[in-house]
Structure 1
Amino acid sequence: MPALPENPFLSHCPGDALHLVITGDWTLQYYSELRQLIAGHGGAKTALMRADLSGLGELDTAGGQLLAELLGSELLETAAEQQPNMPEERRILLRRIARSLAPESAPRPPGNALGDMLAQVGKSMLLFWEHLISLLGFIGLTLAGLARNLLQPGNWRITAVVAQIEQTALNAVPIVALLSFMVGAVIAFLGATVLAEFGASIFTVDLVAFSFLREFGVLLTAILMAGRTASAFTAQIGSMKANEEIDAIRALGLNPLDLLVIPRVLALLVAMPALTFIAILSGLFGGGMVCALALDISPTMFIGILQQNVDMQHFVLGMAKAPVFAFLIAIIGCLEGFKVSGSAESVGEHTTSAVVQCIFVVILVDAMAALFYMEMGW
C-alpha cells in the first residue's frame, strides 16, 4: 500500500518482524482502508511484541478500536505508555479503549460454604469496627462541643432546643402513653393467668410494678424514640446534606455541630426522662385497670401494695438509664444524617440504619445495665 502522509499506514521495522510501525491518520474517514489493513494482519497481535506509535497522525475512537483489534488491548496500552511525546489526551483515549476491550477476568471458582461464611463474618466485623470508631469519634466531638458552649451562654440555641423538645417530647406523649398502657395490661393478664395457678394472684401488682419501674418503662420509650426521633434526626440532617445546606452553614463560618447536633441532644436529654415517667405511669395504670377488672383488686389496694412492696430504688434505677439512652439515640441519629451522600436513596438507607443501630444499642446497654444492677445487688 502506498505510504501517503495523510493515509493510515503500518509496516514492519526492517530486520525485526515483531516490531510494527504505525503511521498516518487512523480516523473514520479511512475506515475501509483500515479494515483491509487489519484483515491483512489478522494474526499479527498474537505474535507482535512491540509497536511504534510515534508516527501516528490523527486519531479518533473508530481508529483506536481498530488499533486495539490489531495489537490487542495489552500491547496497545503498553505502546501508548512508551511514547513520551504523545499528547496526554490521546494516551488517555487509547488507554480507555484498551481497557474497555480487555478480556473479562476468569470466573471466580466456586468456594465452600464455610469459607464464604467466614469471609462474610470478617466483612461484617470490619464494618462493625468502622461504625464503632465513627460513633466514638462523634461522641467525643459532641461532648467537646457541649463543654465548649457550657461556659458561653451566647452560643446557646434556646429556641432550637425548645422547638426540638416540642417535637420529640410533647408530640410523642400520646403514642408512648398508649403503648405503655397496653403493654401494662398485657403483663397484668399474663401475670394473673400464671400466678393464679399458685394462688398468688395478688403478686400481679408486684410483677407490673417491678417490670415497668426497672425495665419496660424506659425500654419501651427508648425503642419508640429510636423509631420516631432518631429516624427524624437522620432524615432532617440528611436532607440538609443532600441540599448542600450544611456546606452553606460552614461557608457562613458557623459550626453545624452547634446548630444541628447539640440542640437535638439537649432536647432528647430533657424529653426522654419525661416520657419515661409518663410510660411508667401509663403502664401502672394499665396493670391497675386489669387488676381491678379481672382480679378484684381495687385501685386503693393496688396503690397500697405498691407503697408497701416496691421501693423507690427501683424507680431511680429505671430512670437512671433514660439520659444514657437519650444521648445514644440522638448521637446515632445525627451521625447517620451526616453520613448521607446526597441522594434520596442514601437518605432512606441511613434512616433505616439509624433505627436499627439505635434499637440494637439500646437493648445492648439495657442488658449490660441489668447485669450491673444484679452484680451490685440493687
Structure 2
Amino acid sequence: MLINADRDEDGAGEASPLITEAKRDGVPCYALSGAWTTQTVALIDDEMRGIDLGQGADAVVLDLSGISRIDTAGAWLVERLIASGQAQGIEVRLEGPSEAASILLDAVQEASRRSEESEASPKPGLLIVILEKIGRGVYAMRDDFLAAMNILGSTIRGAQMKLGRGHGVNMAAIFHQIDRMGVGAIPVVVLMSAIVGAIVAQQGAFQLRYFGAEIFVVDLVGILVLRELGVLMTAIMVAGRSGSAITAEIGSMKMREEVDALKVIGLNPVGVLVFPRLVALVIALPCLTIAANFAALGGAIVVSYLYSDIAYTTFIDRLRVSIDLGTIFAGLIKAPFMAMIIGILASVEGLKVGGSAESLGRRVTASVVKSIFVVVILDGLFAIFFAAIGF
C-alpha cells in the first residue's frame, strides 16, 4: 500500500514525504521516504495521524532508510507515532535511520519525555510557594547588599573618575545636583512639613484640652518634629522625588548603553554618575531637614494661636524650655545616613535596569519602595539606640 504517492514536490525542490505500508514476517512495516522537513510534513500529517497501529500485531517496524532529509518537525511526527504505539502497548521499532536522524530523534524523545514529566509533576503547595518566594527574596537582598557595599566603598575611596588611575571631583556636577535635589525640593518639603506640623498641633491640642494642658502641645510638637517627623518626612519626600529621578536617569543611560560607553572610554560609572548625586544628597538632606523643621514649627505656631489661643511669644518661650540642642541634633544626625541610603539604593536599582521600558518602571518603583522602607527601619533603629544611651 502506498500512501501519499501522488504528492507534488514542494517549493524547495525536495521530494515529498511518502509512507509505504508492507508486511515483514507478519509484522506491519511502514517505510518512510522523501524529505521530512518543516516545508513538507504538512503534506503527510493527516496520513500519519490515520495510521492504524492496532492490527493484531505486538510490534510495528518503521523503516527510515529512505528518508533523504529530516528536521525537528519530521522527527516530531515520528515521535508522535511512537508515543501512540506505546500508549496502545505496541512496540515500535526503528530501522535504518541515519546517524543525524538518530541524534535528532533521541533529542526529540528526551524533550517529549521531560514535557510529560513536567505536566505530570504535582503543583507545589501554597506553603512551598511562599517559602520559595521568601528564599528568592533573601537572595535578592544579598545581591542588593553586595551591590550597595560596592557603591559605598567606591564612594568612600574617592570619586574614581578614571578606572584605577587617580581621582577627580567634578564640583560643577555636585553643585548642579544640589540645586536639583536640594533647592528644587524646598517648596514641596516646606509645604508638606508645615501641613504636618499644623495637623500634629491641632490633634495634640484637641486631646490635651480635656486635661487643661493645651500648653504642652508645644512640647509635643517640638520634640516630635525635631527628633522624628522633620527628618523622616523629608527623607520620604526626597526618596520619592530625588531617589526615583536618580534611578530613572541612570536606568535610561543603562538602556541606551551610555554606561557601557563610559567604561569603554576608561571612566568609572560610579565616579561619574553616582558620586556627585550621593554627595549632593548628603549635603542637601540635612539642609532640607532644617527647613522642614522651621516649616513644621511655623505651621504649629499658627494653628496653636488660631485653635488654642496660644500666643506666638508664649509658644516660642515654651519651646525654648522643652527642647535643647540634643533634641535638635538627634534629628539632624540621621539625615546624612538616610541620604546615603536613598542615593545608594536608587543607584543600585538604576544600574540593574534592563533593556526595556518595563524594566525601568519596575526599578523606579522598587527604588522608592525600598528607600522608604529602609529609611523607616533606620529611623526606628536610631530611636532604639538613643533610648538605650539616654540621648
The residue aligned with 2:206 is 193
Asked if the contact 1:212–1:280 (Cα under 8 Å) also holds between the matched residues in 2, the reply is: yes
1:180-218 deviations in whole A, cap 9, x for unaligned?
Answer: 000100111111111111111111111110011100000
Does 2:141 align with 1:132? yes
The root-mean-square deviation of aligned C-alpha atoms, in Å, is 4.0
The residue aligned with 1:141 is 150
TM-score where L is the length of structure 1: 0.83
The residue aligned with 1:332 is 345
* Partner SS, residue 25 of structure 1: strand
* Partner SS, residue 155 of structure 1: coil
Q: 1:85 to 1:311 in 2, by over 3 A?
A: same
* Partner SS, residue 57 of structure 1: strand
* Partner SS, residue 266 of structure 2: coil
Letter in 1 for 2:78: L
The residue aligned with 1:180 is 193
1:134-174 deviations in whole A, cap 9, x for unaligned?
Answer: 23212221232123326988521222212211111111000
TM-score where L is the length of structure 2: 0.80
Asked if the contact 2:76–2:108 (Cα under 8 Å) also holds between the matched residues in 1, the reply is: no
Letter in 2 for 1:69: R
5 Å matches for 1:44-83?
A: 53=64, 55-59=66-70, 63-72=74-83
1:293-347 deviations in whole A, cap 9, x for unaligned?
Answer: 2222222222211222211101111101111111111111111111112111111
CA distance in 1 between counterparts of 2:147 and 2:52 reads 63
Letter in 1 for 2:131: G
Q: 1:212 to 1:21 in 2, by over 3 A?
A: same
**Worse-superposed segment, 125-134 or 329-338:** 125-134
Q: 1:299 to 1:358 in 2, by over 3 A?
A: same
Letter in 1 for 2:35: D
Deviation at 1:267, TM superposition (A): 1.0
Does 2:385 align with 1:376? no
Asked if the contact 1:68–1:98 (Cα under 8 Å) also holds between the matched residues in 2, the reply is: no
CA distance in 1 between counterparts of 2:105 and 2:355 reads 30
Letter in 1 for 2:82: L
Does 2:44 align with 1:8? no
Q: Percent identity?
A: 35
Asked if the contact 1:73–1:102 (Cα under 8 Å) also holds between the matched residues in 2, the reply is: no
CA distance in 2 between counterparts of 1:126 and 1:58 reads 48
Q: 1:98 to 1:214 in 2, by over 3 A?
A: closer
Asked if the contact 1:237–1:337 (Cα under 8 Å) also holds between the matched residues in 2, the reply is: yes
CA distance in 1 between counterparts of 2:40 and 2:304 reads 93
Does 2:291 align with 1:278? yes
Higher helix share: 1
Deviation at 1:95, TM superposition (A): 3.1
Deviation at 1:85, TM superposition (A): 3.0
Does 2:108 align with 1:95? yes
**Worse-superposed segment, 254-263 or 15-24:** 15-24
Corresponding residue to 1:86 among 88, 100, 109? 100
1:42-71 deviations in whole A, cap 9, x for unaligned?
Answer: 449x96698664653123676445324322
Deviation at 1:240, TM superposition (A): 1.5
Corresponding residue to 1:26 among 36, 40, 43? 36
Q: 1:49 to 1:368 in 2, by over 3 A?
A: farther
Asked if the contact 1:8–1:34 (Cα under 8 Å) also holds between the matched residues in 2, the reply is: no
Does 2:229 align with 1:216? yes
Does 2:364 align with 1:354? no
CA distance in 2 between counterparts of 1:309 and 1:161 reads 38
Letter in 2 for 1:313: G
* Partner SS, residue 138 of structure 2: helix
Letter in 2 for 1:8: L
CA distance in 2 between counterparts of 1:319 and 1:165 reads 18
Deviation at 1:12, TM superposition (A): 8.4
CA distance in 2 between counterparts of 1:79 and 1:370 reads 77
Count how many residue pairs are aligned between Structure 1 and Structure 2.
369
Task: Return 5+ residue gaps in structure 1 as ranges.
Answer: none
